[in-house]
Chain A
Amino acid sequence: MNIRKLLLRNETALIIAIVVLSLIIGIKSPEFFTLANLFDIFRSSFVQLIFALGVLIVIISGGIDISFPAVGIFAGYTAVVLMQRFEWNPENLLLPIALAIIIGTILGAINSIAIATFGIPTLIATLGTSGIFRGLMLTFIGSSFISDIPVALDKFATADLLKIQPEVGTLARLHVLIIPVAILTILVSLLLTRTMFGRSVYALGGGVEATRRLGISVKRTQAKIYMLVGGLSGLAGILYVSLQRKANPYDLAGSELDIIAAVVLGGASIMGGYGTVFGTVLGVLLISLIKGNLILLGVSGSWQRAAVGALLLIGITVQALNESKKAKNRRVSTSDEAGQ
């Protein structure tokens, strides 16, 4: 790959954006460049990243899912409620996590039925199911805040991999989740690039009819995608509950915007077919960076959402301009070749 191509890549632009932004924040308030702050950005990115990986898969396949926060909180909250009701309180995390993933996958399967079986447009289908999931959870499972979550989840919130006390300033804590999340990220990346399923996801985004003619079952692939996203959302949901040390069924509403913004900024095309895990990681970091450090820039925290909106707006405008330029070049180059 030559340098020009490398520079034009979306990931490069994102890295530059992250570096420039960091420098600006850092110059304004030097406390930005502390280990504690870096670890905080990581911590606030874990759950976001797991959600984002799921959304990435959906977007590459040419769809969109906005039910994932509902699925996440449904799975996380329900797992906690179930454990309380049946008085399961094991020392390890396996049970709550498994429960949440199973619940998430089941909800994902409902999305699969709406999308793969009936062919409902993905935005409308997941908008509908997210209303159903939230409504049913709040009506039948519970609508009250749970603060005494199972002990394993509670303990996990403070499970640090590293604690570094610098000479001055606050204690820097690196949460142990960095390892499993990193592994998960690599796994999703391998899934997308090295497996038949992953390539089918890209194929689907490249063209539904062409994929069908290849002999790939479009419905089965779609069904798997939405179940997988459900499972990932369930996992993200329970980890969210754990890190917050409480289960609040009203949480995560509205978080779909930040995550979709991160994935789109990461270079995934909403029309499908394009997107990388690396880009998504960078997108999530960029959003976490700007949301978490507005105050250091001297801007009130209530501007968080506007900042995300502005970032997304800039991102899509740049992508749209690039796309029209590319389309022009492509038109010229194909007619050029044909003319030779």
Chain B
Amino acid sequence: MSTLLTTEYGVKDIVKSFGGAKALSGVSISVKSGEVHCIAGENGSGKSTLIKIMSGIHAPDTGLIRLGEKSFTKLSPREAVHEGVQVIFQDFSLLPNMTVAENIAMPTYILNNSRILSKNQTKEIASNALSLIGVDIDINTPVADISIASKQLIAIARATNLGVKMLFMDEPTTALTRKEIKRLFEVVEQIKARGVATVFVSHKIDEIQEICNTITILRNGEVVGDGLMKDFDRKTISQAMTGLDVSESRIAPKLEKTTKKVVEIKNFTTKPTFSNISFSIAPGEILGMTGLLGSGRTELAEAIFGQYPVDSGEIIVDGTPIQLNSSSKALKAGIGYVPPDRLTQGLFLEQSILNNLVAVGIDKYQSKGGRLSKSRLIEAGERWIKELRIKTNNPQNPVTSLSGGNQQRVVLAKWLAMNPHLMILNGPTVGVDIGSKREILKIIRDRAQEGMAFLVISDDIPELVQICHRVIVIKNGQISKEFSEAELDEKILYKELS
């Protein structure tokens, strides 16, 4: 009987290719109204293509989009909105130069084909939308001036305001603290109660388990598993996602007892981002660091590397203090840093693999009279391609020709080439496939065995447990707890985090 009351939304047998390569090959997904459905999959599994098809950005080659009783072969962005499909993108797609009220009200005007706006109506639409999800934010503030968590809520208010029937949320929790996630889930429950079919796109398994009723797992553009959430557990989900039997056994090398320290951080403080941070790392030690986004962990890492201002504190590398707030001094002292976003911070996308491999410490390749020694450059490039097993047939090809995992190895290589004493890795395996992830962790282990010290910052708790000798948790800009090798345990770490 219940099928009569609920409406189904989704896609049937969707095929979509780009220039001959299939991004989706026959994907079907069905979500009922009042249900929270999860789409899980690794990068490149077809998640984002699917979202783009549902929101009218791409047209599928074949297959149907089903929204209740209606079927479509393709949607335009306008139709998608008209039919009640809304997407909350990971970056929220808000306009920073406009007020909260306008950001929320704009789609309503667009939907109604209004040409003239009234300020009062704008405010009314916005306050209604916010109160509908039970949120109170000053609607006259420009979006540029508000916090990430509020932006998330505004994006939801905007999306749910328009007679939404199917709501996609793309990685909605990445930027939120545990408390904010709880708040978000309350809002999702409300939306659910209103009969919206919600789709949660995420890779954070514990969160999926908490909020979702049903799940579809995608891999290489195909559905490799679907059903009720309760029929899946952590292991089956990640196995389906990767297609591999995931072994997450510890691979950290044995650490020699020593009093030597590669780096000592003393009382690092930049108010209000972080304060009184002190720790040290021994040769060959892999120190893990985790914390929620906004906890100050990235800022701290960048502060050690001289890219984020430090107000006070001391950093001692191999017994000698080095000047704060200077990346070139940090580089000289032997500190390397792989930033979290490979595409915008790590790579020179249109440049050749070779140029990317040598981008740090270019001056090393200078011969007399300021000349650039190309033969040494090429030699170095080819050595690293071999050493890190980067898959390419020509180092002159643009770095975009590589897969995510190989691209990450290029970023890693350009720093390893400097042979740093301390290597800071911020999210070293984000967005790489499971095979590459293993390889990258092995590279870290091998270097550590040779005595290189590592600071690994990651969201991926199993990864930290797998590779680290010690893990510190950052909360509100302070070290909230330190776990020694013996204490490392996923569950306890998760608990400390939230």
Binding site for B on A (CB under 8 A): 194-197, 199, 202-203, 205-207, 209-216, 273-274, 330, 332-340
Contacts and interface: CB of A to CB of B under 8 A. Distances in A.
B117 A194 contact: yes
Interface of B: 55, 77-78, 81, 87, 89, 93-98, 102, 106-107, 109-111, 114-118, 144-145, 147-149, 177, 272-273, 293-296, 299, 476-477
Contact of B107 (A202, A207, A215, A333): A215
Contacts of B117: 194-196, 199
Given A196-B117, A203-B106, A210-B95, A339 B477 contact: yes
Contacts of B149: 337-338
B95 A215 contact: no
A207 B106 contact: no
Closest 7 CB pairs of A and B: A338-B294, A273-B97, A206-B95, A337-B147, A206-B97, A210-B93, A339-B476
B102 A335 contact: no
B115 A195 contact: yes
A196 B272 contact: no
A177 B370 CA distance: 64
Given A330-B144, A338-B295, A199 B106 contact: yes
Contacts of B476: 339-340
Contacts of A195: 115-117
A2 to B, nearest CB: 13
B293 A215 contact: no
A214 B97 contact: no
A19 to B, nearest CB: 28
Contacts of B107: 214-215
Contact of B109 (A196, A209, A211): A196
A317 B313 CA distance: 33
A334 B147 contact: yes
Find the residue from A206, A211, A332 having the highest chain B CB count within 10 A.
Answer: A206
A339 B115 contact: no
B115 A197 contact: yes
B314 to A, nearest CB: 22
Contacts of B293: 338
Nearest to A197: B115
Nearest to A211: B95
Contact of A214 (B93, B145, B477): B93
A332 B110 contact: no
B177 A338 contact: yes
Nearest to B478: A339
A216 B273 CA distance: 38
B298 to A, nearest CB: 10
A210 B110 CA distance: 14
Contacts, number: 89
B123 to A, nearest CB: 14
B295 A339 contact: yes
Contacts of B148: 334, 338
B85 to A, nearest CB: 11
Chain B interface, >50% SS class: loop
Contact of A338 (B115, B118, B147): B147
A196 B145 contact: no
A202 B97 contact: yes
Nearest to A198: B117
Find the residue from B89, B93, B177, B299 having the highest chain A CB count within 10 A.
Answer: B93
B145 A215 contact: no
A325 B88 CA distance: 31
Contact of B96 (A273, A332, A335, A336): A273
A195 B114 CA distance: 8
Nearest to A329: B145
A332 B295 CA distance: 12
B346 to A, nearest CB: 21
Given A195-B117, A339-B294, A332 B273 contact: yes
A211 B77 CA distance: 12
Contacts of A335: 272-273, 294, 296, 299, 477
B97 A196 contact: no
Contact of A215 (B77, B94, B299): B77
Nearest to B147: A337
A206 B102 CA distance: 13
A191 to B, nearest CB: 10
13 contacts: A196-B117, A199-B98, A202-B97, A202-B98, A203-B106, A206-B98, A213-B55, A215-B110, A273-B97, A335-B296, A337-B149, A339-B272, A339-B477
A60 to B, nearest CB: 9
A214 B55 CA distance: 11
A274 B95 CA distance: 12
A267 B96 CA distance: 17
B95 A203 contact: yes
Contacts of B294: 334-335, 338-339
A337 B110 CA distance: 32
Nearest to A334: B147
Nearest to B270: A332
Contacts of B295: 338-339
B97 A330 contact: no
A206 B96 contact: yes
Nearest to B79: A215
A330 B476 CA distance: 17
A202 B95 contact: yes
B97 A199 contact: no
Contacts of B81: 215
Given A335-B477, A339-B272, 7 more contacts: A199-B98, A199-B117, A207-B96, A214-B106, A215-B110, A335-B272, A335-B294
A130 to B, nearest CB: 28
A207 B117 CA distance: 20
Find the residue from A194, A207, A210, A215 having the highest chain B CB count within 10 A.
Answer: A215
Contacts of A340: 476
Find the residue from B78, B81, B95 having the highest chain A CB count within 10 A.
Answer: B95
Contacts of A333: 145
